[in-house]
Chain A
Amino acid sequence: MAKEGLKHTPLYDEHKDLGARLVDFAGYEMPVQYSGIQAEHKAVRNHAGLFDVSHMGEVIFRGPDAESAVQRLVTRDVSRLDVGQAGYSAVCYEDGGTVDDVIVYRRESDFLVVVNASNRAKDLEHFRENTNEFDVEVADESDHWALLALQGPEAAGLLQDLTETDLSGLKPFRFVEGVVDGAKCFISRTGYTGEDGFEIYLSGGDAPRVWRRLVEAGATPAGLGARDTLRLEAGMCLYGNELDAKTTPLEAGISFAVHLDKEQRFIGQRALLLEDTEGLRKKLVGFEMEGRGIARHGHHVTSGAEIVGEVTSGTKSPTLEKAIGLALVDPGVEDRFEIVIRDNPVPAKTVPLPFYKRTGG
């Protein structure tokens, strides 16, 4: 039954027909799982999974100053992006805290910035407030777009059967306009799972048909639960967990998305330069449990009697079959510490990120 006040993506009826368990996520009634988180997770790692991520926000920057406006807002130097190229970036406050993490797409005549659903309203306000001096239109087109994420080693083969666009020529973080099963869309070789895959932006009207075709072709419907375990194994940040207004992108370990030397000043640049010079106040580490128990968001990290950090994400990794997690800890912390699980300090050790890296591809 539909819950009151919650929005639906164009694929809502598909989820219901598939028997998905639906939950409130960022104001949308979204599928958290269909067959089960672990089965869906493994389908993505070994075959192909299909996610409805239409709740994500699409914000277009258009006009003569579009590039300058985006440059002002994001930490990545988007002047280095070619048309048809996308880049992962942070958006910061003046103090370096993080507003959101986004993907910036440079298109022929504008920029598309894809934002987290839970941050959409806040982002739009931040974008508009900070681009007054530019001749740019900031348009929220989120409600016009559906977004499918087809992820896994078999994703390219499945999608290639439904499109004439040559996907073998589409490199990671590149995108192209194309037609999938008769639907105009743009196809981006991006994702949030650590696997090869695509994100397909298309109209809400076409989305259910394309979704069904991909499922018929063998893609396993996968929900937000598997999306979270997959991204965690891949060592990727989730806003609200690893990133927030009190955490800088440098602290969260995404300095690859921050171009401190960017010529055009961006919001937060001064604070991030200072932190880069003076040293991080905290840092993100990956860990695995050595004792029994699963670390969860909010658990304390201790070293002896001292609290040295906090778990930002934790789960039992379906691929590694180990309890893993990410934590923001004091920069000087040792390789071994404890995670306090229900008042009980359980030993854990840091491990290199990502936890999981695909082979080949």
Chain B
Amino acid sequence: MNIPEDLQYTESHEWVRIEGETATIGITDHAQDELGDVVFVELPGEGDTFDAGESFGTVESVKAVSDLYAPVGGEVVEVNSALEDAPENINEDPYGEGWIVKLRTSDEPHLLSPQEYEQVVAEES
């Protein structure tokens, strides 16, 4: 299971890359593997704002629908609209081409380290 060292994580299996005020968010390799073939992503609109923990969209596989939860609060500054035509990017490259949304945030959130997240995954299986 791929859990990059340079990212932070949530218990609901999102990853976050914080660079200055910008938080880039996606779902983890473990999450995409659990979901199976992703066939649809519901993205928020640019300018929408979310509190930490709030649902900001959904990812659907053939069988299942999974909510996406904002790891940090903030305003949507960019969405990965390529996912509308290529949702499989989430399976193929969850930490790269499969990123979902960028938020402008000033939160100092409590997120999981790679080691803590690895523990979460281990406890689930």
Binding site for B on A (CB under 8 A): 21, 32-33, 36-38, 225, 228-229, 292-294, 296, 315-316, 318, 323, 342
Contacts and interface: CB of A to CB of B under 8 A. Distances in A.
B62 A293 contact: no
A254 B63 CA distance: 25
Contacts of B36: 21, 33, 36-37, 225
A50 to B, nearest CB: 19
Contact of B40 (A21, A228, A294): A294
Contact of A296 (B37, B42, B65, B84): B65
Nearest to A37: B62
B58 interface: yes
A12 B62 CA distance: 24
Contacts of B42: 292-293, 342
Size band of the interface chain B makes with A: 10 to 19
A294 B60 contact: yes
A32 to B, nearest CB: 7
Interface in B4-58: 36-37, 39-40, 42, 58
A342 B63 contact: no
Given A225-B36, A225-B63, 10 more contacts: A33-B36, A37-B61, A37-B62, A37-B63, A38-B37, A228-B63, A315-B62, A316-B39, A316-B62, A323-B40
A36 B37 contact: yes
A145 to B, nearest CB: 27
Contacts of B60: 294, 316
Interface in B84-124: 84
A318 B61 CA distance: 11
Q: Specify which of A229, A294, A323 lies most central, judged by the most chain B CB atoms within 10 Å of its CB.
A: A294
Nearest to A1: B125
Given A38-B62, A225-B63, A229-B62, A293 B37 contact: no
B62 A342 contact: no
Contacts of B58: 342
B62 A225 contact: yes
A229 B39 CA distance: 13
A318 B36 CA distance: 13
B55 to A, nearest CB: 9
A292 B60 CA distance: 12
